[in-house]
Chains A and B, each alone.
Chain A
Amino acid sequence: MERAGCIEMIYPELGDKLVVTIMGACAQELYNLGHCDNFFYLQHAMGLASSIGLGLAMHLPRDRVIVLDGDGSVLMNLGTFVTLARYRPKNLIHVVFDNGSLLSTGGFDSQTASGLTDIAAIARGAGIEHVAAVSTTTEFGEAFVEALERDDLSVIVAKVAAVGPEHYGMDLQLPENAFRFKRWIAERKRAAERPT
């Protein structure tokens, strides 16, 4: 299973959701499908994508938030799982693409490469009830649909191959991404408050 295929599969579902990605390949693969202003690419600060997602989910309880994380990033902020478990935002889906590799920085093995470290088990141990561990595209699709239908915090750990896009680059400055993302949320809130 490749991450790009997983992202392509869920892309049609993302139009009305807030999406936060980690840096590098994950961000690029989503961007390559067509940027939307409700996508925020965290191109640095590894580990904090899920914390941004938690902040969004807690303060926008009527919106769905999707975090596209990776093993290298989440290993830098394992504490995020305990905070997610504690506040259990019903509107957050935390996807961790586990390729066992620090792919975007040279392809060194991450601590999950040997199979010794199990991110799904860590999430469960932190107290998150709905954790799916998947390794085929079909399983990923099913887990994502279940998470969308479930009104509860969901974590999906997806074992993927350590491959990324051939080219990197976005026609989008980093602050511009934040400004447009914030404006998309503000306009959506205004539209929701407008009488129909």
Chain B
Amino acid sequence: MTVSYENSKIIFDGIKAAGIRSISALPETWLGLLLQRAEDDPDIQLVQVAKEEEAIGIAAGAYLAGTPHVLLMQNHGFFGAINGIVSLAQLYHIPLCMLIAFRGHWGEPYPWHTRGGIVTEGVVRALGIPFEYAREPDKVAKQIREAWTFSQSSLSPVALLLTRDLMES
């Protein structure tokens, strides 16, 4: 299985069509082609972090500055960012639009991803973060746009979980 070139392009175009101008990310396999596009696009400011919790601070700074921003991370990185999500974003009513690579579920061949995949939905629910699964390429642009809109109106973190169906081909 390889990362879907076509769908990575569809997601990146969806991010841009939603009016996003800034992306924070920590590179991971499923997000690699997306990040390459972000890096090559002069209209997108890409901030690569050393750990995902930093990206919560950077996203908060972008929001306060008035720049539309999304965060790209793996679900394991999301776990490492939870205190920032709770004690910065949720505490101060700062929206976050998170696109999360949902590793470690149906079809996962790698044992190291499986524990994280199994608990992801439960953790997202426990944190009260509204979420949806992105599975179909023809719907993902609309899902990104709607995730962005809802984050801004609810002043809340929201999560779009990018599934294997979408990310691999």
Contact = CB atoms under 8 A, between A and B. Distances in A.
Q: Do A and B bind each other?
A: yes
Interface of A: 40, 42-45, 47-60, 77, 79-80, 82-83, 86-87, 174-175, 177-179, 181-182, 185-186, 189
Contacts, number: 111
Contact of B45 (A42, A58, A185): A58
Given A79-B50, A79-B51, A185-B65, A54 B58 contact: yes
Given A40-B64, A55-B60, A87 B91 contact: no
Contacts of A44: 87-88, 91
B48 interface: yes
For this complex, into which size category does the number of interface residues on chain B fall?
A: 20 to 34
Given A51-B57, A174-B91, A174-B92, A59 B51 contact: no
Contacts of B18: none
Interface string B39-56: 000000101111101111
Nearest to B155: A175
A43 B87 CA distance: 8
Nearest to A78: B50
A40 B83 CA distance: 18
Contacts of B62: 55, 58-59
Contacts of A53: 61
B49 A56 contact: no
Given A42-B88, A185-B66, A189-B66, A55 B53 contact: no
Top 3 A-B pairs ranked by shortest CB distance? Answer: A55-B61, A51-B57, A79-B50
A77 B65 contact: no
A178 B84 contact: no
A49 B57 contact: yes
Contact of B57 (A43, A55, A189): A55
Interface of A is mostly: helix
Nearest to A179: B93
Contacts of A82: 50
Contacts of A77: 51, 53-54
B54 A80 contact: yes
B95 to A, nearest CB: 11
Nearest to B58: A55
B36 interface: no
Contacts of B51: 77, 79
A83 B66 contact: no
Contacts of B66: 59, 182, 185-186, 189
Which among A48, A56, A86 has the greatest number of chain B C-beta atoms within 10 A?
A48
